[in-house]
Chains A and B, each alone.
Chain A
Amino acid sequence: MSYKTVALFWVALAFLGLIDAGYITVKYYSGGEVSCPITGGCSDVLTSAYSQIMGFPVSAYGFIFYLTVLLLAFLYLDSRKRWIEAAMLLLGLAGFLFTLWFVYLQIFVIEAICFYCMVSALLSTTIVALALMAFLKTRPIGNRLST
């Protein structure tokens, strides 16, 4: 899979991610309650001590993450610069690390599952998986990074 294909998929995934994270972020600031399909644990998760970092809701960071994913994808589609390929991989991995942490918190610490968080986990996992597929296909990246 080429980075171009990955970027196209990223656009679609980031679009969904923006809606998902945007919804939770707006609900956080407007004080409204989220409707919670399937898993039913949203309010437990979203009001837990782990729902904010440095005063901002986790979903706001998620929103910025998806905005960055979208921006990188468009930058790549526009310019095809090599450094963006590396940036895509790093961004994907960073997002995935946070995803692992938050899924761990939901399952083992808060013991409640929030539907929107799991949607986001699925999206960010797909995002990193695609970037990895492109990376593995176009190795070695060492030469590319130095350009």
Chain B
Amino acid sequence: MSTHTSQSGTRVFLWLLGLTLVALAGFIVYVATRDGGGGSGTLAPGLKDDDHVRGASSSALVFVEYSDFECPACLAAQPALRSLYAEFASTTIFVYRHLPLSQHKNAELAALASEAAAKQGKFWEIHDALFDNQREWAGIPNDQALSYFVKLAEGLTLETVRFAADMESEELRARVKRDADEAARIGVRGTPTFYVNGVQLKVKSFDDLRTALLQGVATSTAP
């Protein structure tokens, strides 16, 4: 110890170096995390003609969900979402938009399956079935997933030949890509991501979704 007292300059330098390192690490984290998604963070509030909607037929309150049928967090959100669909059925328009993430290898196929079912008027039916059976088809090879989806469609009494053909169509691929492109443009990077009237919700728990909708109902019915 006594040998170091003559080196107080070195000691000050040492600790300043330590503080600089911590500050530098903090700065790097700041730069890496600034501007959460690299997009505007706001979503055009209007509905598109071919959006998948449920709930109120017309309302000032629009709830948009960016989701991926193969994402475990989206599955975890299902019980909460389904109780919201019921509770706010008369006051809120619920919109489902696709954001199939690349790490989920059947996610895009599942999105296409939902679009093919939508062509026969059963988007929400297959939406529920895809989530309910997610563990069965998540991560299996693409061709097996495809036949699994056709089987699901059959279970929903869809016309399976047409369903399988629609799943191959460029039109539906473009429809899914449109949602995903918009998500990228506004800076949605993960799923599920929720918007109420174009404003992204920062939710820590699914209860926060309900709170946000209650507030939305309160403000939209206020004079």
Q: Give every chain A residue within 8 A of B11 (Cβ-Cβ).
A: 78
| Chain A: number of interface residues, binned into ranges | 20 to 34
A91 at the interface (CB under 8 A from B): no
In the complex, which of the residues B14, B24, B193 contacts A74, with contact meaning CB atoms closer than 8 Å?
A: B14
Answer whether A74 and B15 are a contact pair too, CB < 8 Å, given A18-B25, A31-B202.
Answer: yes
B189 touches A19 (CB 8 A): no
Q: Give every chain B residue within 8 A of A67 (Cβ-Cβ).
A: 22
B86 at the interface (CB under 8 A from A): no
A112: nearest chain-B partner, CB-CB? B72
Q: Which of A36-72 contact B (CB under 8 A)?
A: 36, 40-41, 43-44, 47-48, 67, 70-71
A95 to chain B minimum Cβ distance, whole angstroms, is 17
A15 touches B21 (CB 8 A): yes
Answer whether A26 and B190 are a contact pair too, CB < 8 Å, given A31-B203, A36-B103, A43-B73.
Answer: no
In the complex, what distance in Å separates the CA atom of A35 from the CA atom of B4? 46
A93 at the interface (CB under 8 A from B): no
Q: Give every chain A residue within 8 A of B4 (Cβ-Cβ).
A: 78-79
In the complex, which of the residues A23, A31, A41, A47 contacts B36, with contact meaning CB atoms closer than 8 Å?
A: A31
Answer whether A26 and B29 are a contact pair too, CB < 8 Å, given A40-B102, A74-B18.
Answer: yes
A129 at the interface (CB under 8 A from B): no
User: How many residues of chain B get a CB closer than 8 Å to chain A's CBs?
Assistant: 33
A77 at the interface (CB under 8 A from B): yes
B190 touches A33 (CB 8 A): yes
A selection of 24 A-B contacts at a CB cut-off of 8 Å is A11-B18, A11-B21, A15-B25, A18-B26, A18-B29, A26-B30, A27-B33, A31-B202, A32-B33, A32-B189, A33-B36, A33-B37, A34-B190, A35-B189, A36-B103, A41-B103, A43-B101, A47-B73, A47-B76, A70-B18, A78-B4, A78-B14, A79-B1, A79-B4
- Chain A residues within 8 Å of B, Cβ to Cβ: 11, 15, 18-19, 22-23, 26-27, 30-36, 40-41, 43-44, 47-48, 67, 70-71, 74, 77-79, 112
